[in-house]
Amino acid sequence: MSLEARVGNLKLASPMIGASGLFGFGDEYADVIDLSLFGAVITKTITARPREGNPPPRIVDLGHGVINSIGLENPGIDYFVGERLDDIDIPCGLIVSVGGDTIDDYKLVASRLAGRANVAALEVNISCPNVKKGGISFGRDPESTAAVIEAVRGETGLPLIAKLPPLPARIDEVAAAAAAAGADALAVSNTLPSISIDIESELPRLGGRTGGLSGPPLKPVSLFLVYKLAASVEIPIIGIGGIETSGDAIEYILAGASAFEIGSVIFKWLNAPSDIVMGLEEYMDHKGYSRIEDFRGNALV
Amino acid sequence: MRYCSRAVVISNERIADSFYLMGLGVGQMAADCSPGEFIHLRGLTAEWPFLRRPFSIYSTDGEGRIEIVYKVVGKATAIMSDAIPGDILDVMGPLGTAFTLRPGVSRVIAVGGGVGIPPLVFFCQRYAAAIDGIDLLVGAGTAAELVVPVSLIVEGIGVTYYTEDGTKGEKGLVTDGLRPALEGVGSDDAEVIACGPRGMLAEVARIAGELGLGCQVSVEEVMACGVGACLSCAVPRAGGGYFHACKDGPVFESTHIDWERWTGE
């Protein structure tokens, strides 16, 4: 049995990927989680200049999920490449999440990462606010999605993953635009825009007021998007959203995903990665599958 | 070294009002704990909310057992209060920075409020013998919330109690007593440490700053990962940007924090 996953030209030893935002620069959990269980871990989004992020509180515990409003805090590409990247030594691939307020920002970040030996791929976070379009995210429409992906493609030969926002209305057009512009794969999807209000203070609970919902409530929505896109796009899909168990991950694979990302569950269970991999192996054994491809997309009937 | 393990509840008793003292069997972790550090805890019941909860360490026997003091404020701590010996919890730790005893410091003035008191007691127990004296000033709204476990009685420590309603010790805020307590104290050989509500810490930092005394504060902010990976627990940094309470803290030099931004003043 092999858990090897191919996501376009990206070869992973495991279909499980650590989602951006949860794993810092990739090595923060190295002494408490066996990162060799992962095909790759994705960094926090790195932008052209340092970003200080949103005021606290930055996370709300809803019980069934969390809303975060970190505000893409990061030290910027110069610091990341100059002071941090070379020290990241993990037993799985490292994927860097790339973000920006303008197309030029994305280009700058991608160009600084080109040719770096320990970067396996770039995940392009197109949920960043497009400053020139009044802060609406690049991924909201096919044109700005294509523009970002094309710009990043022009700077690097690394595999490119376009991470789509969870917007059912035009997601097929956005996905097709990303593919046509040179994305090698899609990550589907991202946190859902959300808010929580304290009824005593009568104010939003988050310092940044609104945030993104993650955890199990996101799963059926994101799984639907993977299912919908798998039937229409040519490039591979990485499923992400609310995966807590091997069963959740298997659902994404049955819906057509070639790999999957886990995120918020790491706040709950540090043994989730090993439980998920073990459960996946048991499932494959029980079903008589020897590769992920043997059952990928089986629900697409 | 950080550990993540299944911890066994050894004891869990109500010590005052809504305050509980929990003893946990944590194995090797107990040998590595210092005052100020915290554990990140999760119950194994389905009712537990999404995130772990951080608790500062109150004591360790160095041989497998630690204790925490917690106040029941919500669902997670209510679940904890129902735990009985033998129950299993998921614990990560020890995490974060510890209070430090700087070379040359012979006297420490420790200021604690509410659930901020226990880590200071841990400090007293660890360092009382090493220095000339520790003055511990502790405060709460009322006597029933003034949680100072009995094991505090350590030689060389003077304890002064404050309650807002005057039901125990001096009537007033613990910070009212700080300035008099610092009279005649030299900045070369004395230091203030504090743990408690944000407003209390801001006031302690202000007074220590005015008197030119070194001051370490242990802070609390809503936290998720506990290891500096998610950047949720932002604490405004003097000069701009943010620290992260779980990794840069929870113990900070008071002058490194931008108190105006953090207290919204």
Same domain, residue pair B147 and B77? no
Last residue of a domain, one of B69, B95, B121: B95
Same domain, B76 and B117: no
Q: In what order do the strands lie in the sheet with B107-113?
A: B170-171, B157-163, B133-140, B107-113, B190-195, B214-218, B251-253
B176 and B251 belong to one structural domain: yes
Position B149 in a domain: yes
User: Quick check: is B131 in a domain?
Assistant: yes
Q: Chain B interface, mutation test: which of A34, A61, A62, most B Cβ atoms within 10 Å?
A: A61
CA distance A39 to chain B (A): 19
Per the structure, how many domains does chain B have? 2
B56 and B150 both lie in a single domain = no
Which of B223, B229, B259, B242 shows the shortest CA–CA distance to A55?
B242
Q: Decide: B56 and B68 in contact? Cβ < 8 Å.
A: yes
Average pLDDT over residues A93-107: 96
Are B205 and B114 part of one and the same domain?
yes
B239 occurs within a structural domain: yes
Can you spell out the DSSP letters for A211-256? EEEESGGGHHHHHHHHHHHHTT-SS-EEEESS--SHHHHHHHHHTT
Q: Is A92 a catalytic residue?
A: no
This complex has an ipTM of 0.94
- Domain membership of residue B68 (yes or no) is yes
pLDDT in tens, A148-193: 999 999 999 999 999 999 977 889 999 999 999 999 999 999 999 9
Domain boundaries, given as residue ranges, for chain A: 5-54+71-196+212-294
Do B26 and B111 lie in one domain? The reply is: no
| Predicted pLDDT of residue B157 | 83
> Does residue B126 sit in the same domain as residue B204?
yes
Q: Is the pLDDT of residue A11 over 70?
A: yes
Is residue B102 included in any domain, yes or no? no
Q: Given B95, B122, B153, which residue is the final one in a domain?
A: B95
What is the pLDDT tens value at each position of chain B, 265 positions in all? Answer: 677 788 999 999 998 889 999 999 999 999 999 999 999 999 999 999 999 999 999 999 999 999 999 999 999 999 999 999 999 999 999 999 999 999 999 999 999 998 899 999 999 989 988 888 899 999 999 988 887 655 555 667 888 999 999 999 999 999 999 999 998 888 789 999 999 999 999 999 999 999 999 999 999 999 999 999 999 999 999 999 999 999 999 999 999 999 999 998 6
Q: What is the pTM of this model?
A: 0.94
Cβ neighbours of A215 in B, within 8 Å:
50
Give me the domain span that covers residue B34: 3-95
Q: Which residues contact B53 (CB under 8 A, 6 or more apart)?
A: B40, B41, B42, B76, B77
Instruction: Give the minimum alpha-carbon distance from B209 to chain A in angstroms, rounded to a whole number.
Output: 25
Pairwise CA distance, residues B187 & B149, whole Å: 30
Integer Cα distance of B86 and A195 in angstroms: 39
What are φ and ψ of residue B235, in 5° steps?
A: -125, 120
Map tokens 């990043």 to a residue.
A152
The verdict on B123 and B143 lying in the same domain is: yes
Residue A212 is encoded by which pair of tokens? 């993104």
| Residues near A286 by beta carbon (within 8 Å), at least 6 away in sequence | none
Interface mutation vs chain B, best among A43, A270, A271, A275, most B CBs within 10 Å: A270
pLDDT value for A119 = 97
Candidates A5, A57, A51; CA nearest to A280 is A5
The answer to whether the Cβ–Cβ distance between A55 and B234 falls below 8 Å is yes
The answer to whether residues B48 and B118 belong to one domain is no
User: In terms of domains, do B72 and B116 share one?
Assistant: no
Nearest CA to B56 out of B33, B28, B85 is that of B33
Q: Are residues B121 and B45 in the same domain?
A: no
Chain B nearest-CA residue for A217: B50
CB contact, 8 Å: B92 with chain A?
yes
- Does the CB of B240 have a partner CB in chain A at under 8 Å? yes
Helix (H) or strand (E) holding A182: none
- Spatial separation of the C-alpha atoms in residues B1 and A300, rounded to whole Å: 47
Q: Are A230 and A256 in contact (CB under 8 A)?
A: yes
Structure tokens at B67: 């204790």
Percent of chain A with pLDDT over 90: 91
The distance between the two most distant Cα atoms of chain B, rounded to a whole number of Å, is 55
Is residue B230 assigned to a domain? yes
Give the span between the Cα atoms of B221 and B244, in whole angstroms. 9
Catalytic residue among A128, A176, A218, A253: A128
Give me the pLDDT at residue B265, please.
63
- How does residue A115 score in pLDDT terms, banded at 50, 70 and 90? confident
CA atoms within 13 A on the CB side of A15: 30
Assigned fold of A5-54+71-196+212-294: TIM Barrel (3.20.20)
Closest CA to B158 of B124, B195, B190: B124
Q: CATH number of the domain that B22 lies in?
A: 2.40.30.10
Same domain, B82 and B149: no
Look up the CATH number of the domain holding residue B115.
Answer: 3.40.50.80
Which chain A residues are closer than 8 Å to B52 by Cβ? Answer: 267-268
